[in-house]
Chain A
Amino acid sequence: MASIYDYPSQIRRDILRMVHQPQSGHPGGSMGCTEFFTALYFDVLRHNPSAFSMDGRGEDLFFLSNGHISPVLYSTLARSGYFPVAELSTFRLINTRLQGHPTTHDGLPGVRIASGSLGQGLSVAVGAAQAKKLNGDKHLVYTLHGDGELQEGQIWEAAMYAGAKKVDNLIATVDANGQQIDGSTDEVLPMGDLGAKFAAFGWDVLHLEHGNDLDAVRAALREAGTHTGKGKPVVIIMKTAMGHGVDFMAGTHKWHGVAPNDDELARALAQCPETLGDY
């Protein structure tokens, strides 16, 4: 039986190998969010990977709004049992179900909405959360967003709605890695105090300082769960390091959307032990 602590290293290996094969994809944010995905899918989420249903009744739901970090989503879904781990080798290749950005179009289990064009996932999650309320379904809806993604206006339309209408079965997480394509978020467009902004929109704001510490993420998600059902949507501002887990990729925007070459892959994999078996 695999330990939850075995997953992050293996998922990082998957991410690196997935983007290396087509020499295309987004490893930086994926590696920064590996502990989040591990904590969510292997500890917190009440879900049913062996019998995926689009309507997700009687399950917790997760929506990835920053769809470019699809490698970490695909690895996590496969290793949760949504589809065969071997399929990870098809990422971004012609005729794959593992499109560059996630889609429902090809029937990939575990994906309920297309994402990639940024800023849309929070609205979708709000709708799904309202559907749960209409259905009398007490399960929760989770989302993940990039911090750069919060520059999209639709996020704040959704934030205003969720706060005003008390959508309190929703837990959004912001991957606050401080990086986006053109540089740091402060260089590109400083966003100020994100927690204060969400609070001003009527959200219950939690801060997670160590988003690459698996136990800290698990604790934060569990804590967030206890804040639901109290009249406010919940957001976790989660600090992570882009590219975490490989020393030469960590803490910079340079690996946002760049794949490692053969030499870089070898050096990176040497820092991520094969804990659960490569695909």
Chain B
Amino acid sequence: MHPYTNQGSQDTRSGFGAGLLELGRRNPSVVALCADLTGSLKMDAFAKEFPDRFFQTGIAEAHMMGMAAGLTIGGWIPFTGTFANFSTGRVYDQIRQSIAYSDKNVKICASHAGLTLGEDGATHQILEDIGLMKMLPGMTVIVPADYNQTKAATIALADHHGPAYLRFGRPKVANFTPADKPFIIGKADVLVEGSDLTIAATGHLVWEALEASNALAAQGISAEVINFATIKPFDTEALLRSVHKTGRVVTAEEHQRHGGLGDLVAQTLGMHRPAPVEMVAVNDSFGESGTPAQLMDKYGLNATAIVEAALKVRNR
């Protein structure tokens, strides 16, 4: 049985808000911008304590991205905040030209990613953002698993020079990362050691992977669980080290199969060590309205789905 306990469910966006506030106090170069979603992004505390370093842009995400790029000229470290859909697809060209190609030190912080945004439905439930962002040369992509890890990742980003995308979400999920664990960009965490298969998970699916490992253990199957909180740069060594031992992988993410962690794992294994892969991910469809739990169940993104995929990959 995995050794992690839920210290009390919290939303990852609140981890971002707490991290940003701490950065505000710790690093006088940090500024923040938000496009009319300050409450949803949990940026209000920063805005209140540091009004001169907070820029409310109104509902103008394209402008916000350009303005963030401009703020870096002069030495500031801007953190932008809006929903993941409006942080990526809506402003892809602005990010591509004014931030990524221009090598600007902008931290694009994106909440309400994926199906767990819930009732607002598919217009807002972006499931393509990891793919969009990891394709951009030089872009760091981080998808933390819980409140504590999101807070630590936010803080770590201020000391990392270069454009970065930080993806988090709306619902309260299990918080199991130790509060004092620093976030190391580019390093995956082996959460549970195992020998029969590897579960490579990211974001909200990491806790589900831990729960799945318990269910598998009850069936006598030893699953190794790795949290790939950094999608890019990808920790190839951590994946290969594990697969040399287990020989097979289940990937788990709240994203499309196309372009996500699953793609990345399959590509990496194809190039270095071919092995069977099953993907727990959305299979080329849009989401819909519903509660987060209903949606994760309907689209097969939970511990049950991971167990099924594990049994399948074991027989390949």
Q: Does A108 contact B (CB under 8 A)?
A: no
Partner of A131, one of B60, B65, B71: B71
Residue of A54, A127, A137 with most chain B CB atoms under a 10 A cut-off: A127
Q: Does B101 contact A (CB under 8 A)?
A: yes
Partner of A154, one of B52, B63, B102, B103: B63
A125/B70 contact (C-beta < 8 A), A103-B102, A131-B76 known: yes
Which of B92-100, B264-272, B288-296 participates in binding chain A? B92-100
Partner of B97, one of A120, A126, A132: A120
What's the Cα separation between A114 and B100 when bound, in Å? Answer: 10
Q: Does B39 contact A (CB under 8 A)?
A: no
A-B contact pairs, 7 of them (CB 8 A): A104-B103, A123-B66, A123-B69, A125-B70, A127-B66, A127-B68, A127-B78
| B103 CB contacts on chain A under 8 angstroms | 104-105
| B65 CB contacts on chain A under 8 angstroms | 123
Q: When each residue 113-133 of chain A gets 1 if its CB lies under 8 Å from chain B and 0 otherwise, what string results?
A: 111110011111111111110
User: Do residues A127 and B69 form an inter-chain contact, with CB atoms below 8 A?
Assistant: yes
What's the Cα separation between A104 and B163 when bound, in Å? Answer: 14
Q: Does B57 contact A (CB under 8 A)?
A: yes
What's the Cα separation between A129 and B67 when bound, in Å? Answer: 9
Q: Does B31 contact A (CB under 8 A)?
A: yes
User: Do residues A154 and B94 form an inter-chain contact, with CB atoms below 8 A?
Assistant: yes
Which of A80-88, A156-164, A191-199 participates in binding chain B? A156-164
Q: Does B55 contact A (CB under 8 A)?
A: yes
CB distance from B100 to the nearest CB of A (A): 9
Q: Does B51 contact A (CB under 8 A)?
A: no
| A33 CB contacts on chain B under 8 angstroms | none
Report B's interface with A, CB cutoff 8 A.
31, 52-53, 55, 57-58, 60, 62-76, 78, 93-94, 96-98, 101-104
Nearest B residue to A167 by beta-carbon distance? B67
Q: Does A112 contact B (CB under 8 A)?
A: yes
| B75 CB contacts on chain A under 8 angstroms | 55, 57, 131, 135
CB distance from A122 to the nearest CB of B (A): 8
User: Do residues B58 and A56 form an inter-chain contact, with CB atoms below 8 A?
Assistant: no
Partner of A130, one of B58, B67, B94, B101: B67
Partner of A115, one of B53, B72, B97: B97
